[in-house]
Amino acid sequence: MKKLINSVDSVVTDALRGIAAAHPSLRVDIENKVVFRADAPRPGKVGLVSGGGSGHEPLHGGFVGHGMLDAACPGEVFTSPVPDQLIEATKGVDGGAGVLHIVKNYTGDVLNFEMAAELSGDEGVEVATVLVNDDVAVQDSLFTAGRRGTGATLFVEKIAGALAETGAPLAEVARVAREVNERSRSFGVALTPCTVPAAGKPTFELSDTEIELGIGIHGEPGRTRAPLREAREIVRVAMDAIDADLPLSGETLVMVNGMGGTPLIELYIVFAEVEAYLRDKGATAVRSLVGNYVTSLDMQGFSVTTCSLTGELTRLWDAPVETPALRWGR
């Protein structure tokens, strides 16, 4: 394993020190592992808190700032944050209008956020929760852990963050966050596994001629293994899965997301195929993001996330945002 680290045990803390040093618009509580907006809490504004395992950068710390999150809690690599962290963040962003927890649907994240919400409630902070579960590779069923939260998390954080910035009440911010999730779908593909620092070796083995279809964002293998094909063919598998679940139509927000180790030139090749697929279905990619946003350490591959837009959602997407990883309009 080759990694730019000082030690396996200090990966998260050392990265937080870097984030603090690089971004004066953030206040980083290194002891409690919380990345705050420097001006949090904002009186009268709903606070947005997200969090999850580390290894998905820039998610979530890179999305803290004006028009998006008020605080992010990084856990250990691929491990959800602990309740203490989340409570610290929740109290630290509460400006009296309540706090929205944005939670990716994984058992660990759900349990730790639930405990934090309950304990923050005991301390007088009103908390609402939105679960993100956009990954169509996983069958949703009462008898499973349900779908994973992946790329749509960014859409939820951006759009709900924009609404919160206007002074909208907690119930409204939560409603729009849920609407974004319901209108979003994702599918991921891996060309290589990734290497978790504490494990020291790749999470699975894949030959030069194979890919994994239907991966999540934790280096886990996907639903199936398949031979490597042209980008066009791989995109078709991903988009067919999305379209079968929620037929693509109308104005669509599209993200082609790298898993951390994919060259941008390949992501643009993928985007061209995604755009053509949408056009074929009568849908239009009216807003787009291409880059590494919701990653899985050093994995090569991509995920595609679509969100069927409404006028309101497009306006909120276009609203100004100023965070380390996403900024426009200001």
Partner 1 sequence: MNTQFFAAWIEEIAAAVRAQRDHLTQLDAAIGDADHGANLDRGFTAAQEALAGASPQTPGALLVLVGSTLIRKVGGASGPLYGTAFREMGKAFGEAAEISPAELSTGLNAALSGVQRLGAAAEGDKTMVDALAPAAKALAQAVQDGLKPEEALEAAAAAAEQGARATVPLQARKGRASYLGPRSVGHEDPGAASTALLFGALKAAASR
Task: Write out the residues near partner 1 by the rule CB under 8 A.
Answer: 53, 75-84, 106-108, 111-112, 115, 137-139, 143-145, 148, 196, 198-199, 201, 203-204, 216, 218-221, 223-224
CB of 288 to partner 1, least distance (A): 27
Phi, psi of 325 (to 5 degrees): -105, -10
* Best CA proximity match to 133, nearest among 157, 103, 175: 103
Can 23 be counted among the known catalytic residues? no
Q: Which of 56, 60, 66, 101 is catalytic?
A: 56
For partner 1, the closer CB: 79 or 262: 79
> CB of 303: closest distance to partner 1 in angstroms?
14
CB nearer to partner 1: give 134 or 273: 134
Q: How far is the CB of 75 from partner 1 (least distance, A)?
A: 5
CB-wise, 98 or 301, nearer to partner 1? 301
Which residue is it, tokens 């691929």? 78
Q: Catalytic annotation on 56?
A: yes
Amino acid occupying residue 232: R
- Tell me whether residue 43 or residue 143 sits nearer to partner 1 (CB atom): 143
Count other C-beta atoms under 10 Å from residue 82's C-beta. Answer: 18
Chain centroid to CA 250: 24
Q: Which one of the listed residues 23, 60, 101, 218 is annotated catalytic?
A: 218
Whether residue 97 contacts residue 71, with contact meaning beta carbons closer than 8 Å, is answered with: no
- Residue that has been written with the tokens 């759900």 in this structure: 110
Tokens of 87: 């409570």
| Shortest Å, Cβ 60 to partner 1 | 15
Q: Of 117, 144, 212, 179, which Cα lies nearest the Cα of 314?
A: 179
- From the list 90, 86, 5, the residue with the least C-alpha distance to 41 is 90
**Active site (catalytic) residues:** 56, 218
